[in-house]
Amino acid sequence: MYHFWDSPCCFKVRMALSEKQVDWTPKLLASVQFEHLGSEYQAINPHSIVPTLIHGGKVIFQSNVIIEYLDEVFPKTSLKPETAAQRALMRQWMQDEQTFLFPLVITMSFNLMMTLREKAYGMEQLQIWSTKHPDQARAQDYLNRVSSPIDQVALDQAIEKFRWHMERLEEQIVVSGGPWICGKDYSLADVSIAPLLDRIEYLDLLSVLEECPRVTAWFKNIKSKKSFLDAQPPFEYRMWGPKKPIPNRQVGPDAPHGSFPSE
């Protein structure tokens, strides 16, 4: 699997692989150096996004598609609930993760993490890396975003909207009876959403769960699973953020592959 360590979409696939006890070969890409935008990776995944799974010669992308695929080809421990209605519910939450929750987390992450790259590497280095970008308009947008001050209004709105979705999830767990999103069966919906909460925690924003005791308990349960611990990014591969200040010295382009060194 081609992946970044600190990516919620890759995290969920690593979790599914661990649940299924499948051995896999990691192909780590260095996001900050735009390695995922190189022609070699683009030939595999035309969107230049991670994750991409290659299995039996088949190339599969889109994280939720990958985890459903893994569930089908390694059916021993099923990650789908028993009834069609519950499976519809599972897919609804997976779709909500992609349509609503992930974009909100991206807004929070850009404002609280990606902007730190400018300080750590310097604009000159980021500009050199960005010349590799096949879409120069997108590269310029990235450079503008990482060099802009925090957009506090957008950040606050994203946090509030995420809080609202967590309140919906709270209701969902009440209705399904818990402890998992679809009820008693741990499912792909849980796998899909857990990595976003990991990022929220790393961004020091877990207060979004203040009014959600059931979601808090759900997150605690999932964090104690072996698959979650196996899939979680090691600290050295976490991006700089509120819990990992950038080093005082400028970081050279030769930093260990794909990592974000701390002091």
Please say which residue, 55 or 214, places its beta carbon nearer to ligand GSH.
55
Contacts 24+ apart (CB under 8 A), 232-239: 232/11, 232/198, 233/5, 233/6, 233/11, 234/5, 235/262, 236/260, 236/261, 236/262, 237/5, 237/6, 238/5, 238/6, 238/202, 239/6, 239/109, 239/113, 239/114, 239/116, 239/117
Binding residues with ligand GSH: total (CB under 6 A): 12
Please say which residue, 113 or 212, places its beta carbon nearer to ligand GSH.
113
Give the x/- contact pattern for ligand GSH in 56-85, rule: CB under 6 A.
------xxx---------------------
Among 98, 147, 216, 221, binds ligand GSH (CB under 6 A): 98
Q: Using omega within 30 degrees of 0 as the cis cutoff, is the peptide bond preceding 256 cis?
A: no
- Which secondary structure element, helix H or strand E, spans residue 55, and what is its range? strand 52-55
User: Whole-angstrom Cα distance, residue 159 to residue 163?
Assistant: 6
Please say which residue, 51 or 81, places its beta carbon nearer to ligand GSH.
51
Please say which residue, 142 or 218, places its beta carbon nearer to ligand GSH.
142
Strand ranges of the sheet holding 27-28, from the earlier edge strand across to the other edge: 27-28, 2-3, 52-55, 58-61
Q: Which residues of 77-111 are buried (b: 16+ CB within 10 A; e: fewer)?
A: eebbbeeeebbebbbebbebbeeebbebbebbbbb
* Distance of closest approach, residue 4 Cβ to ligand GSH, in angstroms: 6
Give the x/- contact pattern for ligand GSH in 19-58, rule: CB under 6 A.
-----------------x------------xxx-------
* Distance of closest approach, residue 80 Cβ to ligand GSH, in angstroms: 18
* Distance of closest approach, residue 248 Cβ to ligand GSH, in angstroms: 28
139 binds ligand GSH (CB under 6 A): no
9 binds ligand GSH (CB under 6 A): yes
259 binds ligand GSH (CB under 6 A): no
* Distance of closest approach, residue 113 Cβ to ligand GSH, in angstroms: 12
Stretch binding ligand GSH (CB under 6 A), from 7-15, 85-93, 196-204, 251-259: 7-15
User: Whole-angstrom Cα distance, residue 25 to residue 163?
Assistant: 36
Q: What are the C-alpha distances in Å from 207 to residues 55, 159, 181, 191, 216?
A: 39, 10, 20, 21, 10
Among 1, 2, 5, 7, binds ligand GSH (CB under 6 A): 7
* Distance of closest approach, residue 214 Cβ to ligand GSH, in angstroms: 26
Residues engaged in binding ligand GSH (CB under 6 A): 4, 7-9, 36, 49-51, 62-64, 98
